[in-house]
Amino acid sequence: MKPLDIESIRSDFPILQQRVGDRPLIYFDNAASTQKPEPVIASIDHYYRAQHANIHRGVHHLSQVATEAYEAARTTVAGFINAASTHEVVVTKGATESINLVAASWGDAHLGPGDEVLISTLEHHANIVPWQMICERKGARLRVIPIDDAGEILLDEYTKLLSEKTKIVAIAYVSNSLGTVNPVETMIEQAHARGVPVLLDAAQAAPHLPIDVQALDCDFLVFSGHKVFGPTGIGILYGKESLLNAMQPYQGGGDMIEKVTFANTTFRRAPERFEAGTPPIAEAIGLAEAIKYMQRVGHTALQAWEADILHYATERIQEISGIQIYGQAQRKVGVLSFTLENVHPQDIGTALDLDGIAIRTGHHCTMPLWQRFGLDGSNRASFAFYNTRAEVDVFIESLARIQKMFA
């Protein structure tokens, strides 16, 4: 395996060249949103300068060019996740909307009084609240799979929770707060043995792990563009084609219809039936370019680099007195959540920012998870393939000064 040319990679990300005050920016907030390489920025700029028009409905040159670029982006996404067909790739405005779409459209048709939806303690709010809303509306019940102190799902408890009442399992592939990589292959297999479909929230998996929806055999999968080094305002919903075509549209409007009269409307098949109105065309083009950039880096090299950064940071942070690490799963990605004794997370985040270091503080949109650990939140440093050991050293030195100052 060829090692990463880290200097070349970092030079591709303009924002990493800037300074915060008199300090170089150290960006350790990648689980919230990743930075964008020059090819992504350039592709969006080029679209607006040379390609922009509305798509699918125009016969003129620009509309044809924009349509081709948008549908080529869908093809790129399908390849990225190994979907069987581009008909299984729905463009949304983010992973959150993708989950809401499934909860509202699939859930409305399949959930009723006494039915159950299974999620885990590790879930982001985006994979909790939509299910709560549809359960309340339909009289169904939300059940929660517990975790152990290391932040790993208790598979025995999951097996016990699966029953004839279970209508869908919706779980994170990777925890955004702890970095835990869940045993989704086993969980999908067990759910399918009972005829239960599975939705995977892959928002945190997509930047770090290769995804193969056919090998996983998941029924739905979602991720966001801005977490895979692409633009904000775009996400993807993968769904098995038969499931998508059986679902009612989530929104109504232009481009998702076959025929409209004042009496009734007929709808197109997936994916168009879920893409009402003008879609995020520029963002789709930018997302495709981000995927191509990741593919050029290579998942094997990317994973090896990030694993080294996480291991190094985990070892070094334990040199600091009063540090407590949360999330020590055997398999995890580059997320390091921690608290420092007698120091509020927000104080740590503010002090680190003075040294040009960006981390996340608070509950990270996983309030129930932190309640499980008896906390209101934590500090979270999260890494990408453009981060370095040298940045980790500066981070640890800054944390050590903060510890001494508050001690």
Which residues have a catalytic role annotated? 365
- Rounded to whole angstroms, the Cα distance separating 142 from 128 reads 9
* H-assigned helices in 52-182: 61-81, 95-101, 107-110, 129-138, 155-161
Residue 49 neighbours by CB distance under 10 Å: 8
Closest CA to 357 of 318, 323, 319, 390: 390
Report the alpha-carbon distance of residue 12 to residue 10 in Å, rounded: 5
- What whole-number distance in Å separates Cα of residue 47 and Cα of residue 34? 22
> Could you tell me what percentage of the chain is helix, strand and coil, using 3-state DSSP and rounding each to the nearest 5?
45, 20, 35
- The backbone torsions φ and ψ at residue 168, rounded to the nearest 5 degrees and listed phi first, read -160, 150
Tell me which residue of 366, 136, 101 sits closest to 221, measured CA to CA: 101
* Structural contact between residues 284 and 308, judged by C-beta atoms closer than 8 angstroms: no
